[in-house]
Structure 1
Amino acid sequence: MIYLASQSPRRKQLLEQIGVQAQVLLPDPALDAEALEVVKGRESPLSYVQRVTALKLDAAVQRHKALKLPAGVIVCADTTVALGRDILGKPEDAQDAQRMLTQLAGQAHRVLTAVAVQKGRTRHAVVSQSWVRVAPMTSAQIRAYVQSGEPMGKAGAYAIQGLMAVNISQIRGSYSGIMGLPLHETATLLRAVGVKV
Protein backbone atom coordinates (compact mmCIF):
# COMPACT_ATOMS: atom_id res chain seq x y z
CA MET A 1 0.00 0.00 0.00
CA ILE A 2 1.28 3.45 -0.96
CA TYR A 3 -0.01 6.49 0.91
CA LEU A 4 0.40 9.99 -0.53
CA ALA A 5 0.53 12.60 2.21
CA SER A 6 -0.59 15.44 -0.06
CA GLN A 7 -3.88 16.97 -1.10
CA SER A 8 -2.40 17.94 -4.47
CA PRO A 9 -4.24 16.23 -7.34
CA ARG A 10 -1.15 16.87 -9.50
CA ARG A 11 1.06 14.75 -7.24
CA LYS A 12 -1.43 11.87 -7.34
CA GLN A 13 -1.59 12.10 -11.16
CA LEU A 14 2.21 12.15 -11.40
CA LEU A 15 2.47 8.98 -9.31
CA GLU A 16 -0.15 7.32 -11.53
CA GLN A 17 1.94 8.34 -14.56
CA ILE A 18 4.70 5.99 -13.32
CA GLY A 19 2.25 3.19 -12.48
CA VAL A 20 1.97 3.87 -8.74
CA GLN A 21 -1.55 3.86 -7.30
CA ALA A 22 -1.63 5.79 -4.04
CA GLN A 23 -4.26 6.33 -1.40
CA VAL A 24 -4.38 9.96 -0.27
CA LEU A 25 -3.60 10.33 3.42
CA LEU A 26 -5.30 13.56 4.43
CA PRO A 27 -3.79 15.58 7.28
CA ASP A 28 -5.33 15.64 10.72
CA PRO A 29 -8.02 18.38 10.63
CA ALA A 30 -6.65 19.60 13.97
CA LEU A 31 -3.18 20.12 12.44
CA ASP A 32 -2.38 23.63 11.24
CA ALA A 33 -0.56 22.68 8.02
CA GLU A 34 0.03 26.35 7.18
CA ALA A 35 1.96 26.77 10.45
CA LEU A 36 4.42 24.10 9.27
CA GLU A 37 5.20 26.25 6.23
CA VAL A 38 6.26 29.38 8.13
CA VAL A 39 9.80 30.43 7.21
CA LYS A 40 12.17 30.59 10.20
CA GLY A 41 14.39 33.69 10.15
CA ARG A 42 16.84 33.81 7.23
CA GLU A 43 16.42 30.10 6.51
CA SER A 44 17.81 29.09 3.10
CA PRO A 45 15.32 27.77 0.53
CA LEU A 46 17.04 24.35 0.64
CA SER A 47 16.91 24.08 4.45
CA TYR A 48 13.33 25.31 4.40
CA VAL A 49 11.99 22.79 1.88
CA GLN A 50 13.82 19.91 3.61
CA ARG A 51 12.51 20.91 7.06
CA VAL A 52 8.90 21.40 5.91
CA THR A 53 8.85 18.07 4.08
CA ALA A 54 10.25 16.25 7.12
CA LEU A 55 7.64 17.86 9.39
CA LYS A 56 4.83 16.96 6.98
CA LEU A 57 6.06 13.37 6.81
CA ASP A 58 6.26 13.19 10.63
CA ALA A 59 2.65 14.38 10.79
CA ALA A 60 1.59 11.85 8.11
CA VAL A 61 3.26 8.97 9.99
CA GLN A 62 1.38 9.98 13.16
CA ARG A 63 -1.89 10.25 11.22
CA HIS A 64 -1.31 6.81 9.67
CA LYS A 65 -0.84 5.32 13.16
CA ALA A 66 -3.83 7.17 14.62
CA LEU A 67 -6.11 5.88 11.84
CA LYS A 68 -4.72 2.31 12.30
CA LEU A 69 -4.25 1.97 8.55
CA PRO A 70 -2.57 -1.08 6.99
CA ALA A 71 1.24 -0.89 6.81
CA GLY A 72 2.68 0.71 3.71
CA VAL A 73 4.94 3.34 2.24
CA ILE A 74 4.17 6.99 2.92
CA VAL A 75 5.22 9.55 0.29
CA CYS A 76 5.44 13.25 1.10
CA ALA A 77 6.66 16.25 -0.91
CA ASP A 78 6.88 20.01 -0.67
CA THR A 79 7.77 22.59 -3.31
CA THR A 80 9.19 26.04 -2.86
CA VAL A 81 10.06 28.79 -5.32
CA ALA A 82 13.21 30.79 -4.58
CA LEU A 83 14.27 34.08 -6.11
CA GLY A 84 17.82 34.34 -4.83
CA ARG A 85 17.49 33.60 -1.11
CA ASP A 86 13.88 34.85 -1.00
CA ILE A 87 11.29 32.11 -0.54
CA LEU A 88 8.07 32.69 -2.47
CA GLY A 89 5.39 30.56 -0.85
CA LYS A 90 1.69 30.35 -1.63
CA PRO A 91 0.13 33.78 -2.14
CA GLU A 92 -2.12 35.04 0.65
CA ASP A 93 -4.45 36.82 -1.78
CA ALA A 94 -4.64 38.23 -5.32
CA GLN A 95 -2.50 41.24 -4.41
CA ASP A 96 0.23 38.97 -3.00
CA ALA A 97 0.09 36.80 -6.16
CA GLN A 98 0.49 39.93 -8.29
CA ARG A 99 3.50 41.01 -6.21
CA MET A 100 5.21 37.61 -6.62
CA LEU A 101 4.56 37.40 -10.35
CA THR A 102 5.88 40.95 -10.82
CA GLN A 103 9.09 39.84 -9.07
CA LEU A 104 9.41 36.69 -11.22
CA ALA A 105 8.62 38.33 -14.59
CA GLY A 106 11.75 38.61 -16.75
CA GLN A 107 13.83 36.71 -14.18
CA ALA A 108 15.23 33.22 -13.62
CA HIS A 109 14.39 31.50 -10.35
CA ARG A 110 14.85 28.13 -8.67
CA VAL A 111 12.15 25.58 -7.88
CA LEU A 112 13.07 23.14 -5.12
CA THR A 113 10.94 20.09 -4.45
CA ALA A 114 11.84 17.84 -1.54
CA VAL A 115 10.49 14.30 -1.52
CA ALA A 116 10.58 11.91 1.42
CA VAL A 117 9.34 8.34 1.74
CA GLN A 118 8.97 6.24 4.85
CA LYS A 119 8.42 2.50 5.27
CA GLY A 120 8.39 1.34 8.87
CA ARG A 121 11.34 3.11 10.50
CA THR A 122 13.23 3.57 7.23
CA ARG A 123 13.15 7.03 5.71
CA HIS A 124 14.77 8.32 2.53
CA ALA A 125 14.69 11.90 1.25
CA VAL A 126 15.99 13.90 -1.70
CA VAL A 127 15.69 17.40 -3.15
CA SER A 128 15.20 18.16 -6.85
CA GLN A 129 16.37 21.61 -7.93
CA SER A 130 15.33 23.18 -11.23
CA TRP A 131 15.69 26.59 -12.84
CA VAL A 132 12.85 28.42 -14.55
CA ARG A 133 13.03 31.61 -16.59
CA VAL A 134 9.86 33.67 -16.82
CA ALA A 135 9.54 35.89 -19.89
CA PRO A 136 8.88 39.60 -19.30
CA MET A 137 5.17 40.13 -18.52
CA THR A 138 3.12 43.30 -18.68
CA SER A 139 1.07 44.33 -15.67
CA ALA A 140 -2.06 43.54 -17.73
CA GLN A 141 -0.80 39.99 -18.38
CA ILE A 142 -0.06 39.53 -14.69
CA ARG A 143 -3.50 40.84 -13.69
CA ALA A 144 -5.23 38.54 -16.21
CA TYR A 145 -3.31 35.53 -14.90
CA VAL A 146 -4.13 36.38 -11.28
CA GLN A 147 -7.82 36.82 -12.22
CA SER A 148 -7.82 33.27 -13.65
CA GLY A 149 -7.46 32.05 -10.05
CA GLU A 150 -4.69 29.63 -11.02
CA PRO A 151 -1.95 31.24 -8.86
CA MET A 152 -3.83 30.64 -5.61
CA GLY A 153 -2.50 27.75 -3.53
CA LYS A 154 0.64 27.49 -5.70
CA ALA A 155 4.20 28.13 -4.54
CA GLY A 156 5.48 31.23 -6.34
CA ALA A 157 1.91 31.99 -7.50
CA TYR A 158 2.01 29.91 -10.67
CA ALA A 159 1.42 26.46 -12.14
CA ILE A 160 3.86 25.59 -14.95
CA GLN A 161 1.43 23.03 -16.40
CA GLY A 162 -1.39 25.57 -16.64
CA LEU A 163 -1.97 28.95 -18.24
CA MET A 164 1.41 30.21 -17.05
CA ALA A 165 3.14 27.93 -19.59
CA VAL A 166 2.90 30.68 -22.23
CA ASN A 167 5.13 32.88 -20.05
CA ILE A 168 7.84 30.28 -19.32
CA SER A 169 10.73 30.87 -21.73
CA GLN A 170 13.17 28.28 -20.39
CA ILE A 171 13.49 25.47 -17.87
CA ARG A 172 16.50 23.48 -16.73
CA GLY A 173 15.96 20.48 -14.52
CA SER A 174 12.89 18.38 -13.78
CA TYR A 175 9.57 19.42 -15.31
CA SER A 176 7.69 17.05 -12.97
CA GLY A 177 9.73 18.49 -10.08
CA ILE A 178 8.54 21.99 -10.98
CA MET A 179 4.98 20.61 -11.02
CA GLY A 180 5.50 19.29 -7.48
CA LEU A 181 6.84 15.71 -7.64
CA PRO A 182 10.12 14.93 -9.43
CA LEU A 183 9.44 11.51 -10.94
CA HIS A 184 13.02 10.30 -11.40
CA GLU A 185 13.92 11.03 -7.78
CA THR A 186 10.58 9.73 -6.45
CA ALA A 187 10.96 6.46 -8.38
CA THR A 188 14.48 6.04 -6.98
CA LEU A 189 13.22 6.53 -3.41
CA LEU A 190 10.31 4.13 -3.92
CA ARG A 191 12.60 1.44 -5.34
CA ALA A 192 14.87 1.88 -2.30
CA VAL A 193 11.96 0.75 -0.06
CA GLY A 194 10.96 -2.12 -2.32
CA VAL A 195 8.22 -0.57 -4.44
CA LYS A 196 8.11 -1.66 -8.09
CA VAL A 197 7.93 1.35 -10.39
Structure 2
Amino acid sequence: MTLILASQSPRRKELLAQMGYQFTCCPADIDETVQGTELPAEYVSRLAIEKAQHVAKQYDDNCVVLGSDTTVVMHNMMLGKPESYQACYDMLKMLSGDTHQVFTAIAAVKSGAVQVMVIITDVSFKSLTETEILNYWQTGEPHDKAGSYGIQGIGGQFVSEIKGSYSSVVGLPLYETTQLLSAMGIANPLTQSK
Protein backbone atom coordinates (compact mmCIF):
# COMPACT_ATOMS: atom_id res chain seq x y z
CA MET A 1 0.00 0.00 0.00
CA THR A 2 1.38 3.41 -1.03
CA LEU A 3 1.30 6.40 1.31
CA ILE A 4 1.16 9.90 -0.14
CA LEU A 5 1.49 13.10 1.88
CA ALA A 6 -0.63 15.85 0.34
CA SER A 7 1.73 18.60 1.48
CA GLN A 8 4.89 20.44 0.59
CA SER A 9 5.48 21.52 4.20
CA PRO A 10 9.05 20.60 5.18
CA ARG A 11 7.87 20.25 8.80
CA ARG A 12 5.16 17.70 7.94
CA LYS A 13 7.57 15.75 5.71
CA GLU A 14 10.14 15.67 8.51
CA LEU A 15 7.65 14.49 11.15
CA LEU A 16 6.24 11.71 8.95
CA ALA A 17 9.75 10.59 7.95
CA GLN A 18 10.98 10.61 11.55
CA MET A 19 8.28 8.03 12.37
CA GLY A 20 9.78 5.70 9.75
CA TYR A 21 7.00 5.81 7.15
CA GLN A 22 7.89 5.44 3.47
CA PHE A 23 5.90 7.99 1.45
CA THR A 24 5.91 10.36 -1.48
CA CYS A 25 4.86 14.02 -1.42
CA CYS A 26 2.32 15.58 -3.73
CA PRO A 27 1.26 19.09 -2.73
CA ALA A 28 -2.42 19.98 -3.12
CA ASP A 29 -3.19 23.33 -4.67
CA ILE A 30 -6.59 24.23 -3.22
CA ASP A 31 -8.43 27.42 -2.26
CA GLU A 32 -7.88 27.97 1.48
CA THR A 33 -10.41 30.79 1.90
CA VAL A 34 -12.61 30.54 4.99
CA GLN A 35 -16.22 29.84 3.97
CA GLY A 36 -18.96 31.91 5.60
CA THR A 37 -19.18 31.42 9.36
CA GLU A 38 -16.93 28.35 9.38
CA LEU A 39 -15.60 27.50 12.85
CA PRO A 40 -11.89 26.65 13.27
CA ALA A 41 -12.46 22.87 13.61
CA GLU A 42 -14.73 22.86 10.54
CA TYR A 43 -12.22 24.92 8.55
CA VAL A 44 -9.14 22.77 9.23
CA SER A 45 -11.18 19.56 8.74
CA ARG A 46 -12.49 20.72 5.37
CA LEU A 47 -9.04 21.78 4.15
CA ALA A 48 -7.34 18.56 5.31
CA ILE A 49 -10.03 16.49 3.52
CA GLU A 50 -9.95 18.65 0.36
CA LYS A 51 -6.13 18.41 0.17
CA ALA A 52 -6.22 14.62 0.52
CA GLN A 53 -9.10 14.21 -1.97
CA HIS A 54 -7.47 16.56 -4.49
CA VAL A 55 -4.30 14.46 -4.52
CA ALA A 56 -6.13 11.10 -4.30
CA LYS A 57 -7.77 11.80 -7.71
CA GLN A 58 -4.32 11.53 -9.30
CA TYR A 59 -3.60 8.02 -7.93
CA ASP A 60 -5.14 4.55 -7.96
CA ASP A 61 -7.23 3.01 -5.20
CA ASN A 62 -4.25 1.24 -3.63
CA CYS A 63 -3.04 4.52 -2.13
CA VAL A 64 -3.69 6.24 1.17
CA VAL A 65 -3.43 10.01 0.93
CA LEU A 66 -2.79 12.01 4.10
CA GLY A 67 -3.85 15.66 4.22
CA SER A 68 -3.34 18.11 7.06
CA ASP A 69 -4.11 21.70 7.93
CA THR A 70 -3.27 23.90 10.91
CA THR A 71 -4.65 27.21 12.13
CA VAL A 72 -3.92 29.39 15.14
CA VAL A 73 -7.00 30.65 17.02
CA MET A 74 -7.21 33.53 19.49
CA HIS A 75 -10.57 34.59 20.98
CA ASN A 76 -12.36 32.53 18.27
CA MET A 77 -10.47 34.41 15.52
CA MET A 78 -8.37 32.37 13.08
CA LEU A 79 -4.93 33.83 12.44
CA GLY A 80 -3.46 33.08 9.03
CA LYS A 81 -0.02 33.74 7.60
CA PRO A 82 1.11 37.37 7.85
CA GLU A 83 1.32 39.30 4.58
CA SER A 84 3.23 42.21 6.11
CA TYR A 85 5.17 43.24 9.19
CA GLN A 86 2.08 45.06 10.48
CA ALA A 87 0.00 41.86 10.21
CA CYS A 88 2.73 39.91 12.02
CA TYR A 89 2.99 42.58 14.71
CA ASP A 90 -0.78 42.64 15.25
CA MET A 91 -0.95 38.85 15.58
CA LEU A 92 2.01 38.49 17.94
CA LYS A 93 0.77 41.43 20.06
CA MET A 94 -2.56 39.59 20.35
CA LEU A 95 -0.83 36.33 21.39
CA SER A 96 1.58 38.10 23.76
CA GLY A 97 1.09 37.21 27.44
CA ASP A 98 -1.96 35.08 26.70
CA THR A 99 -3.06 31.55 25.77
CA HIS A 100 -4.28 30.60 22.30
CA GLN A 101 -5.33 27.37 20.60
CA VAL A 102 -3.74 25.60 17.66
CA PHE A 103 -6.18 23.47 15.65
CA THR A 104 -4.68 20.78 13.41
CA ALA A 105 -6.77 18.42 11.31
CA ILE A 106 -5.45 15.27 9.67
CA ALA A 107 -7.46 13.43 7.03
CA ALA A 108 -6.78 10.10 5.33
CA VAL A 109 -8.45 9.18 2.05
CA LYS A 110 -8.45 5.71 0.47
CA SER A 111 -10.74 4.48 -2.32
CA GLY A 112 -13.19 7.28 -1.58
CA ALA A 113 -13.33 6.51 2.16
CA VAL A 114 -12.44 9.46 4.40
CA GLN A 115 -11.39 9.62 8.05
CA VAL A 116 -10.56 12.88 9.79
CA MET A 117 -9.40 13.92 13.26
CA VAL A 118 -9.00 17.38 14.82
CA ILE A 119 -6.44 17.99 17.58
CA ILE A 120 -6.58 21.15 19.71
CA THR A 121 -3.56 22.29 21.72
CA ASP A 122 -3.34 25.22 24.16
CA VAL A 123 -0.21 27.35 23.75
CA SER A 124 0.72 30.14 26.19
CA PHE A 125 3.05 32.99 25.22
CA LYS A 126 5.23 35.17 27.40
CA SER A 127 4.77 38.93 27.06
CA LEU A 128 6.55 40.17 23.93
CA THR A 129 8.23 43.55 23.43
CA GLU A 130 8.04 45.54 20.20
CA THR A 131 11.78 44.96 19.73
CA GLU A 132 11.36 41.17 20.04
CA ILE A 133 8.54 41.19 17.47
CA LEU A 134 10.51 43.34 15.00
CA ASN A 135 13.69 41.27 15.39
CA TYR A 136 11.70 38.05 15.01
CA TRP A 137 10.03 39.33 11.83
CA GLN A 138 13.44 40.17 10.40
CA THR A 139 14.60 36.54 10.80
CA GLY A 140 12.08 35.62 8.09
CA GLU A 141 10.61 32.80 10.16
CA PRO A 142 7.09 34.23 10.69
CA HIS A 143 6.45 34.89 6.97
CA ASP A 144 4.89 31.48 6.09
CA LYS A 145 3.56 30.50 9.52
CA ALA A 146 -0.03 30.55 10.72
CA GLY A 147 -0.23 32.94 13.65
CA SER A 148 3.16 34.42 12.65
CA TYR A 149 5.33 31.97 14.58
CA GLY A 150 7.02 28.60 14.32
CA ILE A 151 7.14 26.67 17.60
CA GLN A 152 9.89 24.38 16.28
CA GLY A 153 12.11 27.35 15.42
CA ILE A 154 13.13 30.66 16.96
CA GLY A 155 9.50 31.34 17.90
CA GLY A 156 9.63 28.46 20.38
CA GLN A 157 11.30 30.78 22.88
CA PHE A 158 8.04 32.76 23.17
CA VAL A 159 6.14 29.69 24.42
CA SER A 160 5.87 29.57 28.22
CA GLU A 161 3.54 26.55 28.37
CA ILE A 162 1.90 24.00 26.10
CA LYS A 163 -1.04 21.72 26.93
CA GLY A 164 -1.57 19.05 24.32
CA SER A 165 0.39 17.83 21.32
CA TYR A 166 3.63 19.64 20.45
CA SER A 167 3.89 17.84 17.08
CA SER A 168 0.34 18.95 16.27
CA VAL A 169 1.39 22.59 16.70
CA VAL A 170 4.31 21.92 14.34
CA GLY A 171 1.77 20.58 11.81
CA LEU A 172 1.38 16.80 12.14
CA PRO A 173 0.24 15.13 15.38
CA LEU A 174 2.37 11.99 15.66
CA TYR A 175 0.13 9.86 17.89
CA GLU A 176 -3.09 10.57 15.99
CA THR A 177 -1.38 10.17 12.60
CA THR A 178 -0.24 6.63 13.44
CA GLN A 179 -3.78 5.79 14.65
CA LEU A 180 -5.37 7.18 11.49
CA LEU A 181 -2.92 5.46 9.13
CA SER A 182 -3.32 2.12 10.96
CA ALA A 183 -7.10 2.42 10.55
CA MET A 184 -6.51 2.90 6.81
CA GLY A 185 -4.26 -0.16 6.52
CA ILE A 186 -0.81 1.51 6.72
CA ALA A 187 1.12 -0.25 9.48
CA ASN A 188 3.19 1.68 12.02
CA PRO A 189 6.86 0.97 11.15
CA LEU A 190 7.66 0.44 14.85
CA THR A 191 5.22 -2.44 15.13
CA GLN A 192 6.73 -4.35 12.18
CA SER A 193 9.01 -7.27 12.93
CA LYS A 194 12.38 -6.89 11.22
Does the TM-score normalized on the shorter chain lie above 0.5? yes
Aligned to 2:20: 19
So what's the TM-score if we normalise by structure 1?
Answer: 0.90
Aligned to 1:38: 33
Q: CA deviation at 1:120?
A: 1.4
Q: Aligned equivalents of 2:109 and 2:61: distance in 1?
A: 14
Aligned match for 2:162, one of 164, 171, 181: 171
Q: Aligned equivalents of 1:149 and 1:162: distance in 2?
A: 11
Aligned to 2:191: none
Q: Aligned equivalents of 1:56 and 1:102: distance in 2?
A: 31
More displaced stretch, 94-103 vs 128-137: 94-103
Q: CA deviation at 1:60?
A: 1.6
What secondary structure sits across from 2:143 in the alignment? coil
Aligned pairs for 1:81-120 within 5 A = 81-120=72-111
Aligned to 2:150: 159
Letter in 1 for 2:56: V
Identity percentage of aligned residues: 41
Aligned match for 1:182, one of 152, 168, 173: 173
Q: CA deviation at 1:71?
A: 3.2
What secondary structure sits across from 1:13 in the alignment? helix
So what's the TM-score if we normalise by structure 2?
Answer: 0.91
What secondary structure sits across from 1:195 in the alignment? coil
Kept after mapping to 1: 8 A contact 2:64/2:109: yes
Change (3 A) 1:122 1:43: closer
Alignment deviations for residues 143-173 of structure 1 (CA, whole Å, 9 cap, x no partner):
1101111011111111000001111000000
Q: CA deviation at 1:17?
A: 1.5
Q: Aligned equivalents of 2:46 and 2:170: distance in 1?
A: 20
Kept after mapping to 1: 8 A contact 2:6/2:25: yes
Q: Aligned equivalents of 1:191 and 1:21: distance in 2?
A: 14
Letter in 2 for 1:54: I
Q: CA deviation at 1:70?
A: 8.0
Unaligned runs of 5+ in 1: none
Unaligned runs of 5+ in 2: 189-194
Kept after mapping to 2: 8 A contact 1:12/1:22: no
Q: Aligned equivalents of 1:183 and 1:192: distance in 2?
A: 14
Query: What is the Cα-based RMSD across aligned positions, in Å?
Result: 1.4
Runs of 4+ in 1 over 3 A off after TM superposition: none
Q: Aligned equivalents of 1:172 and 1:82: distance in 2?
A: 15
Alignment deviations for residues 21-43 of structure 1 (CA, whole Å, 9 cap, x no partner):
2200133xxx4x3xx22122332
Q: Aligned equivalents of 1:79 and 1:144: distance in 2?
A: 25
